[in-house]
A = this chain, B = another copy of it.
């Protein structure tokens, strides 16, 4: 706590489990907990990293401030000789989108993943010392989801041994890359590779954009920022950019050539490195997005939970205190499933980290067998967790009533900065359809005896699952993990099987896929929810130390699953997995779980271990001292610089004094 009275102490005293042990579970290990605590404190205690003024800053000021923070963070990383783990945590606690995200998160990995040994040796040291700053320039004004439709061209000129990078149309302008607009000196640019008049599809190229002397764009290059984005502060700290090429020449060896190469003569040759390797990068990036979803969701629920315990409204008896809004069942029914989701996403994210390592090991050994399943799984989980988190943040904002609408609550900015995650790295609906395609393929191959693996393994038991009827007889039966699991398996399997059957009625399968795509997307969601539920259950099969910790997690797991069951009751009933009576029992069990979680709610969000600086919310303060801080924050608004507002003389006074006709407005 950061000094003063702890208004939430009574809540903390109520909790029935060891919060410190839960902190370790959340962090993943006591090592990670300890490092993250150290980094969080480092950031929180340094005035340069202040962020409460962000919503009030104009674009230029905001952006300059981000440059300052990013550079200062880098300076600290060097001074303190932080290792990679520490550095990346420090950056994440700075909590402000910046060009460095793309430099470290996309530019460097792209060179690692797609560059040859030589290219890596040339470019990585420069990037790692930040002697160059890079971004990832894929999306164009006209093409995002459909990467194969990109229009920028890279034409090989055998005369000079160069590629000519060109933007042939308006819609081929690069558009969106973060860090591009004002900062990056280099970019990995995706363009159609053309040799000898032949189009070989899209490939990556390292292109220098700005002079390293004066930062001016190089000849033939036009760059700018694409303008304001959603929200106050939020993603406006990032210079998402526009970029046009007018026949810009780069040496041949700046084509990323790990997979295919262009020879001096302009011949395209495939290397021995399998194309599939690029999927590894995708699995990696999406796994980090799932981990980030649990962070964003947990921040939002931490704010909403603490404030719901502070806020009182109605229900005073004989002049006593009113009811804490967290005691209202509607509030619980909205909030507690989101707490459960934060933990669920945390654990599935942990598992994805394992999956990524597994995939990479197999790739090294040229075993591509698990790749399609792993790829579909990460795509689906990216889609599921980010959509749920975006909606969850906004629900948390609404759970805070009017005060959640103030920037000082932290929730508006959290929402605005988070939502694009539903769109980038694969639009969530496009990803659902990819998952569905994989499911349909898996089902269609059952006949030929191909055994589904990994997260689709349950489809191998399709016949059995088609027979399944839940045997739940009383509410508590829904607490049994296997009861829940098989219900989710049956629902997912039957949803997929039903669409597959409808698909088979179409003579043109592609037409069928288009026509039934909304149903396909639903089947994909059912499948992905099953994954999250099953990984939560798996986590609970492991040893989890700490008094009461496992019990709390069991409750949250049940809440997560039964909340989904209630929300998608139509699925479970229409596929005949459960009866209406069993659905009611699940709902009954859910209510009782809410009551059990209630006394632990504050401790469950304390376990995220966020500093007040990181949370950035007056409503979510650790000490619950909400009202005084709300009041104090208000006066910092620029409008309060003067009692009588600028504009009174010109606009308000003439109106009041009925002197409008003569007023110059």
Which residues of A are interface residues toward B (Cβ below 8 A)? 48, 55-60, 63-64, 67-68, 70-72, 74-75, 78-79, 129-133, 139, 141-146, 149, 170-171, 173, 175-176, 181-183, 185, 212, 214-217, 223-232, 235, 239, 242, 312-314, 316, 322, 328-334, 394, 397-398, 401-402, 404-408, 412, 415-416, 419-420, 422-424, 427-429, 432-433, 514-519, 521, 566, 568-576, 580, 583-584, 587, 591, 627-628, 630-631, 633-641, 643-648, 650-656, 658, 660-661, 663, 665
Contact = CB atoms under 8 A, between A and B. Distances in A.
B232 A231 contact: yes
A48 B575 CA distance: 59
A224 B407 contact: no
A622 B26 CA distance: 50
A628 B170 contact: yes
B229 A405 contact: yes
B131 A228 contact: no
B59 A638 contact: yes
B330 A217 contact: no
Given A405-B423, A645-B67, A638 B514 contact: no
A630 to B, nearest CB: 7
B514 A407 contact: no
Contacts of A406: 226-230
A579 to B, nearest CB: 9
List the 8 closest A-B pairs by CB distance, nearest first.
A569-B570, A230-B412, A333-B518, A574-B580, A64-B647, A67-B647, A67-B651, A182-B645
A217 B591 CA distance: 51
A228 B56 contact: yes
Contacts of A322: 146, 149
A361 B328 CA distance: 38
Which of A182, A185, A407, A420 has the largest number of chain B CB atoms within 10 A? A182
The residue in A313, A515, A654, A655 that gathers the most chain B C-beta atoms within 10 A of its C-beta is: A655
Contacts of A214: 644
Given A75-B660, A146-B322, 19 more contacts: A58-B638, A60-B638, A67-B647, A67-B651, A68-B650, A71-B651, A78-B661, A129-B658, A142-B627, A170-B628, A227-B408, A228-B407, A229-B405, A230-B231, A328-B517, A329-B514, A329-B518, A569-B571, A569-B574
Contacts of A633: 227
B639 A63 contact: yes
Given A59-B639, A429-B330, A631-B242, A648 B407 contact: no
A637 B229 contact: no
Contacts of A641: 60
A129 B573 CA distance: 62
Contacts of A141: 627, 630-631
Contacts of A658: 129, 131
Contacts of A424: 402
A533 to B, nearest CB: 18
Given A215-B652, A423-B405, A631-B242, A71 B665 contact: yes
Given A176-B402, A182-B639, A242-B631, A68 B647 contact: yes
Interface of chain A: mostly helix, strand, loop or mixed:
helix
Nearest to A327: B514
B518 A330 contact: yes
Nearest to A626: B141
B228 A55 contact: yes
A639 B645 CA distance: 28
B149 A64 contact: no
Contacts of A648: 67, 215
A82 to B, nearest CB: 14
Contacts of A576: 580
A427 B566 CA distance: 24
Contact of A71 (B405, B573, B660): B660
Contacts of A587: 519
A427 B314 CA distance: 13
A137 to B, nearest CB: 14
A225 B639 contact: yes
**Counting chain B CB atoms within 10 Å of each CB, which of A228, A432, A633 scores highest?**
A228
Contacts of A149: 313-314, 316, 322
Contact of A314 (B146, B314, B566): B146
Which of A57, A131, A656 gathers the greatest number of chain B CB atoms within 10 Å?
A656
Contacts of A394: 394, 419
B75 A627 contact: no
A421 to B, nearest CB: 11
A587 to B, nearest CB: 7
B654 A71 contact: yes
Given A59-B639, A183-B645, A139 B573 contact: no
Contact of A407 (B216, B230, B650, B652): B230
Contacts of A572: 570
A229 B407 contact: yes
Nearest to A226: B634
B75 A663 contact: yes
A328 B521 CA distance: 12
A142 B171 CA distance: 52
Contact of A227 (B228, B637, B650): B637
Contacts of A59: 56, 637-639
A171 B321 CA distance: 13
